[in-house]
Amino acid sequence: MGFAVNALEALVFIFVGIIGLIALAAVFLFFVDRFQTGDAIRRNYPVIGRFRGLFTELGEFFRQYFFAMDREELPFNRAQRDWVGRAASGKSNTVAFGSTRNLNVPGTPIFVNAPFPPLDDQFAKTEPLLIGPTARTPYLAPSFFNISGMSYGAISKPAVQALSQGAKEAGIWLNTGEGALSPFHLEGGCDLVFQIGTAKYGIRGDKGGIDEEKLRAAAAHDSVRMFEIKMSQGAKPGKGGILPGEKITDQIAAIRGIEKGRDSLSPNRHPEINNFDDMLDMISYVREITGKPVGIKTVVGSEVVMAELLDAVVHRGEDYAPDFITIDGGEGGTGAAPMPLIDLVGMSVREALPMVANLRDQRGLKDRIRLIASGKLVNPGDIAWALASGADFVVSARGFMFALGCIQALKCNKNTCPTGITTHDPRFQKGLVVDSKKGRVARYAYSIIHEVETIAHSVGVAEPRLMRRRHVRIMQSNGRSIPMNEIMPSYNPVSEM
């Protein structure tokens, strides 16, 4: 009995002590808030005013889990993320009881089902497509769906490893992003696209330009199949890459050739490229040194500019042509970027892609310049739309981030990603197990390819690249849909047959 009383007294003592500490902390915070001058709410409502900041910080997470409907969130809604999650897990993506998508929203693509689609034995797998026919080592790309640029530094070591190994398993390419070629890109053995950013990470010379020997060394890797000169990207058109200093480790600094611990800011453009002739000269130079296909990545700002680029190609000759053009949408991407650029600069890929396809085809460059679509294309309908619009390939970054386990925590620009994808903190990285995640990467790619093929068969063609704009209708504000080939006619009407 005495022991029980003593235990109760101890509990009471501890409880009173905790209450006392809370009261003491509240009094301390009261005086701190009352006399600080930076926050008017906390100054007028000491202690209680702190809850506003807390709830604001937590609000985005509560909305994601409790309040937002399946199709409401941005940049990607729950329905989009869940589809990727099920695909990456190898689970069935069949649903019941009808679509949750509001098909009356203007701009919604609706695919035109054929009355007599191909029979089961009339389907065909998508054939590999040649890129860079004039290069010494052209690339016969196996898949129409691939991984877009995410650099080591922007994403973590285990993330790069899982993407590289998963890409190898799925037979797709992986773009290195502008952060240079790391050992973790190479170890998976997949096909790689080496992206040359404005800072020339990994191949930069003493004066900031391309170091020819470093470029040759990068090209010497058999797995490096193409080079992509990044002119601009959807997250920040008109501004160079931003890697916060807190994300720069010794290894990242060594690979990129930068200083550890200081923000690494790439130039807003390539200093040696002042016009389209300079651009074509660089493309030709890199292709001559490496012997491999070379293209550009850009966000489209206007039809006039893209017409000028393609006219310059016609004037200079096809030997100077980019082997591919990656069209990134102005919808924003994974990288750290100023909000005005993410929100307001650059055309959406939905507008830019069919326009550039027409400009290319008008100049007879369809078989010379491949078009690669990028920008918020993560689900089968997105990829099918892009192929029908004129793309030869589609690449995705955030789709594969979801496959790795991204929860859209919106911490990509910090070193605190809770899933270990965009952080170099070992505490968070331990949650990303490469052996598990590489399979998710491959399964997501397989699922996209399979379901895009399903859409192609439904509209009446044997394989996805045979889809045309007439196979897609676009919903209008009056509640009626119009065939896409009437809204944005193809240059060559025969291609719509």
Per-residue pLDDT for 458 more than 90? yes
Higher-scoring residue by pLDDT: 260, 284: 284
As a whole number of angstroms, the distance between CA 272 and CA 196 comes to: 13
The whole-number pLDDT of residue 62 equals: 63
Q: Per-residue confidence at 140, pLDDT binned at 50, 70, 90?
A: very high
Contact 388, 366 (CB under 8 A): no
63-77, 295-309, 451-465: least confidently modelled range: 63-77
User: What is the model's pLDDT at position 334?
Assistant: 59
The predicted structure's pLDDT at residue 321: 97
pLDDT greater than 60 at residue 19: yes
> How high is the pLDDT of residue 63?
62
CB atoms within 10 A of CB 383: 26
pLDDT value, residue 61: 64
Of 337 and 489, the one with more pLDDT: 489
SS3 annotation, the chain:
CHHHHHHHHHHHHHHHHHHHHHHHHHHHHHHHHHHCCCCHHHHHCCCCCHHHHHHHHHHHHHHHHHHCCCCCCCCCCHHHHHHHHHHHHCCCCCCCCCCCCCCCCCCCEEECCCCCCCCHHHCCCCCCEEECCCCCCCEEECCCEEECCCCECCECHHHHHHHHHHHHHHCCEEECCCCCCCHHHHCCCCEEEEEECCCCCCCECCCCCECHHHHHHHHCCCCEEEEEEECCCCCCCCCCCEECHHHCCHHHHHHHCCCCCCCEECCCCCCCCCCHHHHHHHHHHHHHHHCCCEEEEEECCCHHHHHHHHHHHHHHCHHHCCCEEEEECCCCCCCCCCHHHHHHCCCCHHHHHHHHHHHHHHCCCCCCCEEEEECCCCCHHHHHHHHHHCCCEEEECHHHHHHHCCCCCCCCCCCCCCCCCCCCCHHHHCCCCHHHHHHHHHHHHHHHHHHHHHHHHHHCCCCHHHCCHHHEEEECCCCCEEEHHHHCCCCCHHHHC
- The yes-or-no verdict on residue 380 having pLDDT over 70 is yes
Q: What percent of the chain has pLDDT over 90?
A: 53
pLDDT value of residue 238 = 64
Mean pLDDT along residues 436-465: 94
Give the length of the chain: 497
Whole-model pTM: value is 0.87
- Measured between alpha carbons, how far is 469 from 472 in angstroms, rounded to an integer? 5
Look at residue 343 in the predicted model and tell me its pLDDT: 67
Residue type, 56: T
Distance CA 103, CA 109 (A): 8
Cα R_g (the chain), whole angstroms: 26
pLDDT, residue 152, reads 92
What pLDDT digit, counting tens, does each position of 21-48 carry?
A: 888 888 888 888 888 877 777 877 888 8
Return the pLDDT at 165.
Answer: 97
Between 478 and 243, the higher pLDDT residue: 478
Q: For the chain, give the mean pLDDT.
A: 87
Give the range among 74-78, 223-227, 275-279, 327-331 with minimum mean pLDDT.
Answer: 74-78
Q: Give the residue from 75, 71, 94, 142 showing the smallest Cα distance to 451.
A: 94
Question: pLDDT-derived band of residue 80, with 50, 70 and 90 as boundaries?
Answer: confident
Work out the pLDDT band at 497, boundaries 50, 70, 90: low
Each residue of 384-439: pLDDT tens digit?
Answer: 999 999 999 999 999 999 899 888 877 777 787 888 888 888 888 888 889 999 99
Residue 299 has pLDDT above 70, yes or no: yes
Check if the beta carbon of residue 408 is closer than 8 Å to that of residue 64. yes
Query: Is the model more confident about 48 or about 288?
Result: 288
Higher pLDDT, 17 or 194: 194
Position 145 pLDDT exceeds 70: yes
Per-residue pLDDT averaged across 209-237, rounded?
91
